[in-house]
Each structure stands twice: as structure tokens, then as C-alpha cells.
Amino acid sequence: MDFTPSATAEQFGDEVRTLLASVFTDERRQHAHDTGTMHDWELHRAMADQGWIRQALPEALGGGGRGPEELAVLFRELELAGAPYDGMSICTMVASVLAHAGNEMQQREILPELLSGESLIALGYSEPDAGSDVAAARTRAVRDGDGWRIDGQKIFTSLAEESEWIFLLTRTNLDVPKHRGLTFFLVPTSAPGFELQPIRTLSGKRTNMTFYDGVQVGDEWRVGEVDGGWQVMLVALSFERGVAGGVRDAERLLAVAEAHARDAVDDDDRPLLEQPARRDALARLAIDTEVADLLTSRAAWVAASGKLPGIEGAASKLFATEAFQRSVNRLVDVAGPAGLVQAHDVSDLSAFYEYCYRFAPVTTIYGGTSEIQRNLVAQRGLGLPRGN
């Protein structure tokens, strides 16, 4: 047993920090905050130029060079810097799927665009009536001559406004159990009949509703088999390998809250770090952060040994996000009235608690709700019987 991070992972962490320091400047951070975008093109292209998107793909698929431990480091550094990285993680994941299951056209025309950082793709999974029950998707794809006609609606299609394509989950068969009647398509956002409408969220981040009204695509835009969408979905999930971000919010909160408490003073000019309630909240958060880090390292380690960290990834996501919410709530309380104040300037750390309080709810919802993760741990991890 050895808890030492590998030398290559440590070194890669240095590289990522160096790149972030030069590209993701305070102005870029402020811009992301002001616009609510979940993407930074300069950062994305700088990372693509380093080869990090390509390297994140499995070696057998023409990628390689970066194992799961290094990927975990990449997303850790992005998260701790507060850099928008959703575009990067979606891009990497869909690129892996296309490298694995894409046809000749997709591998020739779309994959290189994703790998080079030229273009983005958005995930079209969730629908107004199909969230956690994603296999209940009703957006229809129907044969139309040699191609397909797509009609329906998706929700939370984040980054669609920046994307060339939507990686779209559709229903192609109504006569079979729901998991067996799904098919994936790549839908160009320039296609006639495609429309999007922004959704503002509690944290200020922007996502979208997307509409598909008689969108025509050729059969070469289909990914995987007809009615084989669920298999493609499983491939996509397996490439996330439990290391694609979303598990470091507590760690970032700890770093910011400690920095803030060291520098700021209360009404009586006493350093915030001397308040017993704050110290207690920070001590508890420090423990949760350590545990979340270990659970995430475990998922990466399982992936590195060539296994699928399904349960370990669920455990890490579940613990990290629930711990983040607990801690945010405590720290906002500790801050009292001052914890309610918003600030325009992102370098004003005192307003971070207020932002986190608005952001925290989504972390236990997106990427699989806590309830879905618990089902997985209980049924596949502990072997408890499925209910009805």
C-alpha cells in the first residue's frame, strides 16, 4: 500500500498550474464570472495545443500518454483554479466515444475538430420529462429516405451556444423496452429546425433548452447501432472513469475559506481565523476534503488498473458533493450577515460563500443525482435487492 502520488502525476500537476497561471488570468476569471459561461476558448485551445484532449483518450483509441491519475490531476487543478472546464470534459468524453464507436466520416471530420480544440460538442441527454430516468427520452428520430428526421426537445443542453454539434439521445423504437429503443446522433447546431433558448441558473451560469423541429440528418450522423443507444451511453459513462471533475468543490472552498480567514478581521479587528465556530467548521471541512480526495484517488487508481470504477466513481461524487453542501451551509452561517453580501469583483473572497450557497445545490443534481449514486452503491456495491 502506498499513498504517494506518482511522480508523473505530480509533474503534470505542475504543468497544468503553469498553463493556468499564464492563460487563465484574473481578467478571464472575471469574464467567466460576469458572463456565466461554462467555457473559456483560450484556455480550451491552449490545453488542446498541449495535446491534453488527445492524450486523455485511451491509448487503444489513438490517444494515450496520460493515465487516469493524471486526468484526475488535470481536472483537480482546473477545479481548484475555478476555471470553466465543462467544455473540456464533454469534448474528451465524446471524442473517446467517437474514437471507439464513430464511423469513418465522424472519425475523419468531427473527431479531429474536437481533439484540436477547434470545436465543441454539447450533450443532449436530459429532457423535460426524462432527467434521472434518462432512458425515458422521447425526442424522436424517424427514418426519412436515406436519413433521419428528428423532432423533440432537450433541457440543460449546456454549452450548446458554443457548440458545433449536439450529441443527441433519441428514441427510434417505441415497440421495445425503453433502454432498447434509443439511438445516438450527432446533430449540427447549424441544421435548419434547430433552435436554442438560454436558461439562467441560480449560480449565474448559463445553460440551454434546445429544440429539434424536423431536423434532417443523413445516416452518417448516427453514432453506434440503430436502437443501440444505451450501449453507446454505457461507453460514454465508462470514459468518464470517475475522474472527469465535479469532486473538488469542497477542496476549493477550503482553500478559499482559509485564505479569507487568514486575511480578514471581524468588527473587533480580530482575525477571522481566531473564531472558534469558524475553526470548527474549517476543521470539519478539512477532514471531508481529505476523505473526498482519497475516494477520488481510489476511483482513479481502480481505472488505472484497467477496471471500470463504477461504484468507486459514484462513491467519490456522492461524498464530495454532499460534503460540499454541508460545509457551505456551515460557513455561510459562520459568516453571519456578512456572508449574505454579493461582490462584483471575483478577487473579493468574502463573497465566495454567498456564491457557493447558490452554486452548491446543482452539484448533487448534475452528473447523476445523489439518489442515483446511492442506488448504485446500495445495489451494485452492497448487493441489496432492487425495489419495485
Partner 1 sequence: MDLDPTDEQQSIVDVFGDLAQRTVPLDRLRDHEPVGFAPEMWEQLIAVGAPGMALPESMGGADATLLDLALAVEALGRRLAPAPLIEHAVTARLLARADALPTEVVDGTRIATLALRPARGGMARLVPAGAVATTVVAFHGTDLVVLDGEPGVHVANLASAPLADRDLTGARVLASGARAEQLHTEAVDEWRTLTASALAGLGLGSLEIGVRYVTEREQFGVPIGSFQALQHTLADVSVALDGAQLLARKAAWAHDSGHADAAVLGAMAFLFAAEQAQRASDRALHFHGGYGFMEEYDIQLFYRRAKGWANVLDEPAREYARLADLRYGPIPAAAG
Choices 123-131, 229-237, 281-289, 337-345; region in contact with partner 1 by CB under 8 A = 281-289
Helix (H, G, I), strand (E, B) or coil at 115: helix
CB-neighbour burial class of residue 274 (10 A; exposed 0-12, middle 13-18, buried 19+): exposed
Q: Which residues contact 274 (CB under 8 A, 6 or more apart)?
A: none
368 contacts 55 by C-beta, under 8 angstroms: no
Q: How far apart are CA 34 and CA 205, in angstroms?
A: 9
Helix (H, G, I), strand (E, B) or coil at 155: strand
Q: How far apart are CA 113 and CA 164, in angstroms?
A: 10
Task: Specify the DSSP class assigned to residue 378.
Answer: I
Among positions 157-186, residues that touch partner 1 (CB under 8 A) are none
- Pick the closer one to partner 1 by CB: 99 or 311: 311
- Pick the closer one to partner 1 by CB: 234 or 287: 287
88 contacts 78 by C-beta, under 8 angstroms: yes
- C-alpha cell of residue 104: 469513418
Binding mask 356-375 for partner 1 (x = CB under 8 A): ---------------x-xxx
Decide if residue 283 touches partner 1 (CB under 8 A): yes
Decide if residue 379 touches partner 1 (CB under 8 A): yes
- Pick the closer one to partner 1 by CB: 230 or 319: 319
Q: How far apart are CA 28 and CA 20, in angstroms?
A: 11
Shortest Å, Cβ 83 to partner 1 = 24
Decide if residue 319 touches partner 1 (CB under 8 A): yes
Decide if residue 277 touches partner 1 (CB under 8 A): no
DSSP string, 203-264: TS-EEEEEEEEEEEEEGGGEESSTT-HHHHHHHHHHHHTTTSSSS-HHHHHHHHHHHHHHH-
Longest dimension (CA), the chain: 76
Shortest Å, Cβ 262 to partner 1 = 8
Among positions 255-274, residues that touch partner 1 (CB under 8 A) are 258, 273-274
Decide if residue 387 touches partner 1 (CB under 8 A): yes
Choices 5-13, 39-47, 133-141, 339-347; region in contact with partner 1 by CB under 8 A = 5-13
Helices (H), 305-363: 310-335, 352-363
Choices 56-64, 190-198, 294-302, 356-364; region in contact with partner 1 by CB under 8 A = 294-302
Q: Which of 22, 190, 347, 388 binds partner 1 (CB under 8 A)?
A: 388
Q: How far apart are CA 229 and CA 261, in angstroms?
A: 49
Decide if residue 306 touches partner 1 (CB under 8 A): no
Q: How far apart are CA 256 and CA 328, in angstroms?
A: 12
Shortest Å, Cβ 286 to partner 1 = 6
Q: Which of 73, 93, 315, 356 binds partner 1 (CB under 8 A)?
A: 315
Decide if residue 2 touches partner 1 (CB under 8 A): yes
Q: CA of 48: how far to CAs of 54, 74, 119, in Å?
A: 8, 13, 11
Task: Specify the DSSP class assigned to residue 38.
Answer: S
Among positions 43-102, residues that touch partner 1 (CB under 8 A) are 69
- Pick the closer one to partner 1 by CB: 95 or 254: 254
Decide if residue 382 touches partner 1 (CB under 8 A): yes
Choices 157-165, 166-174, 217-225, 297-305; region in contact with partner 1 by CB under 8 A = 297-305
> Which residues of this protein are in contact with partner 1, per CB under 8 A?
1-6, 9, 69, 258, 273-274, 276, 279-280, 282-284, 286-287, 290-292, 294-295, 297-298, 300-301, 315, 318-319, 322, 371, 373-379, 381-388
